[in-house]
């Protein structure tokens, strides 16, 4: 009986998402599930989902990354600049991914070799990267792809939805395989659960940490590129709330931010979708801004309470 209850509790985040969808479908008179709305939800969920999926490896291994938004913003801005200089989306893609991986490697090395709490390192890194982004932007508030050397293909709302779906499914599949079927998935959870046990079990801790950050960085790079192609105007404020969004998404998805054995790859996707549905639903209801904020706070509290039932004592990072 107890095991069955434990199994049921694992589905609480999904249940929370389902309740949100049903509630807002009724509240918006079915508009939430209209074709336009579904495409819109996909376009909105993509960036948070990509970063959150990769962050399952980072947070799952017991590391706390506060520089997600700044890394994404810098990658997108430099990708945009590369695009403007060369007129090539492929070059922009390589810059977004390459820079993001480089920053991921840097964070992984810090986590592995420098004995300083990583969340402090990433707070400082985030500030540094934001300042650097402002510096390279100079007098401009943003980079605009319309200034590119060659005209770039412009994607319609529907085309963008297809691109987003392909990118999201590809990265989700990769993360799923790595997390469930490759050693790194198990090692991440053991490391996040207890670093001493992980060491005594012979897990290559440094390699796992670097690997986790690189997988996370791939998600950030993909998110930077997708935002760049879709928005085409990238500034320092782009994705500025990404760090918070991802943490909320992971919690809503039923994963403790301290990582460990309760980490799950579905948390990134379910949590990101929950946030997106909540925000979209509230906007579509046309409520007063103050009411929206109160409503959102109450829903967050309820969903987090329900989702955290499986790890109540381990919500905060150690």
Partner 1 sequence: MKKTLSLLLLISLLLGFALGTAQAEPALSEDGRFPVETVKIGFVNYDTSAEQVLAIQSYFEYLQTAFNFEVIWSEALNSAAAEFAFIEQCAAAGCKAIIGYYNEGKSESVKLAADLGMYYFGGAVNADIYEPEKNNPFYVGGYISGAEQDENYLAGYAVGKALVDAGSKKVIVMSGGKDFGVEFFVKRYNGIMDALNEGGAEVVYEVPGWPGTEAFAAHQTAALQTEADGLAGTLTCMMWLQPMQNAGKMGQIKVAGIETVSEGLVGLMQGGIYVGAFSEIPDMFGLSIPMILNAVTGYGEQQRNPDGSAGRVKVLNWVITNPEDMAYFAKLLSGEGDERVFSIEDLKTVMGAYNPDFTLDDMSTLYSAVTADEIRARHAQ
- Cβ distance 196 to 83 under 8 Å? no
* DSSP E strand stretches across the chain: 142-144, 233-235
Which stretch, 38-46, 56-64, 85-93, 191-199, contacts partner 1 (CB under 8 A)?
A: 38-46
Q: If you search the block for the tokens 């579905």, which residue do you land on?
A: 266
| Beta carbon nearer to partner 1, 37 or 308 | 37
Q: Which of 1, 2, 115, 139 binds partner 1 (CB under 8 A)?
A: 139
Quick check: 266 and 253 in contact, CB under 8 A?
A: yes
- Binding to partner 1 in span 147-186, by CB under 8 A: 154, 156-157
44 lines the binding site for partner 1 (CB under 8 A):
yes
| Contacts (Cβ under 8 Å, ≥6 apart) of 231 | 238
Residues 200-239 that bind partner 1 (CB under 8 A): 227, 230-235, 237-239
Least distance (Å) between residue 245 CB and partner 1: 11
Q: Pick the closer one to partner 1 by CB: 115 or 139.
A: 139
Q: Which of residues 13-32 bind partner 1 (CB under 8 A)?
A: 28, 31-32
- Six token digits for residue 262: 């309760």
Residue 144 binding partner 1, by CB under 8 A: yes
Choices 13-21, 84-92, 119-127, 283-291 (CB under 8 A): range interacting with partner 1: 283-291
Give the dihedral sign, CA 136/116/251/298: negative
Number of residues that bind partner 1 (CB under 8 A): 39
What Rg, from alpha-carbon coordinates, does the chain have? 20
DSSP 61: T
Contact (Cβ atoms closer than 8 angstroms) between residue 272 and residue 49: yes
Select 288 or 313, whichever has its Cβ closest to partner 1: 288
37 binds partner 1 (CB under 8 A): yes
Q: What is the DSSP letter of 260?
A: S
Q: Are the CB atoms for 22 and 14 separated by under 8 Å? A: no
Do 50 and 170 meet the contact criterion of CB atoms below 8 Å apart? no
**Residue 292 near partner 1 by CB under 8 A:** yes
> Which spans of this chain sit near partner 1 (rule: CB under 8 A)?
28, 31-32, 34, 36-37, 39-40, 43-44, 47, 139, 142, 144, 146, 154, 156-157, 227, 230-235, 237-240, 279-280, 283-286, 288-289, 292-293
């Amino acid at each position: 009986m107890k095991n069955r209850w434990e199994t049921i509790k694992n589905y609480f985040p999904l249940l929370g998402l389902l309740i949100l969808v049903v509630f807002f479908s009724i509240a918006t008179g079915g508009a939430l599930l209209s074709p336009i709305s579904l495409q819109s939800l996909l376009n909105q969920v993509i960036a948070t989902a990509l970063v959150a999926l990769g962050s399952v490896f980072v947070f799952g291994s017991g590391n706390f990354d506060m520089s997600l938004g700044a890394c994404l913003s810098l990658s997108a801005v430099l990708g945009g600049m590369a695009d403007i200089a060369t007129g090539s989306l492929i070059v922009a893609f390589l810059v977004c991914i390459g820079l993001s991986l480089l920053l991921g490697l840097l964070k992984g090395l810090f986590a592995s070799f420098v004995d300083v709490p990583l969340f402090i390192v990433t707070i400082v890194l985030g500030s540094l990267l934001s300042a650097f982004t402002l510096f390279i932007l100079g007098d401009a508030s943003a980079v605009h792809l319309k200034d590119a050397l060659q005209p770039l293909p412009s994607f319609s709302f529907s085309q963008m939805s297809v691109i987003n779906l392909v990118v999201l499914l590809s990265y989700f599949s990769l993360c799923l395989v790595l997390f469930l079927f490759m050693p790194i998935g198990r090692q991440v959870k053991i490391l996040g659960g207890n670093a001493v046990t992980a060491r005594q079990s012979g897990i290559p801790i440094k390699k796992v940490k670097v690997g986790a950050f690189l997988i996370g960085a791939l998600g950030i790079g993909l998110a930077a590129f997708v935002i760049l192609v879709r928005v085409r105007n990238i500034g320092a404020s782009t994705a500025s709330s990404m760090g918070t969004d991802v943490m909320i998404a992971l919690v809503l998805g039923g994963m403790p931010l301290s990582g460990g054995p309760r980490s799950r790859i579905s948390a990134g996707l379910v949590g990101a979708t929950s946030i997106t549905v909540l925000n979209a639903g509230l906007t579509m209801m046309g409520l007063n801004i103050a009411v929206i904020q109160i409503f959102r706070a109450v829903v967050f509290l309820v969903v987090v309470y329900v989702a955290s039932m499986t790890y109540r004592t381990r919500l905060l990072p150690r």
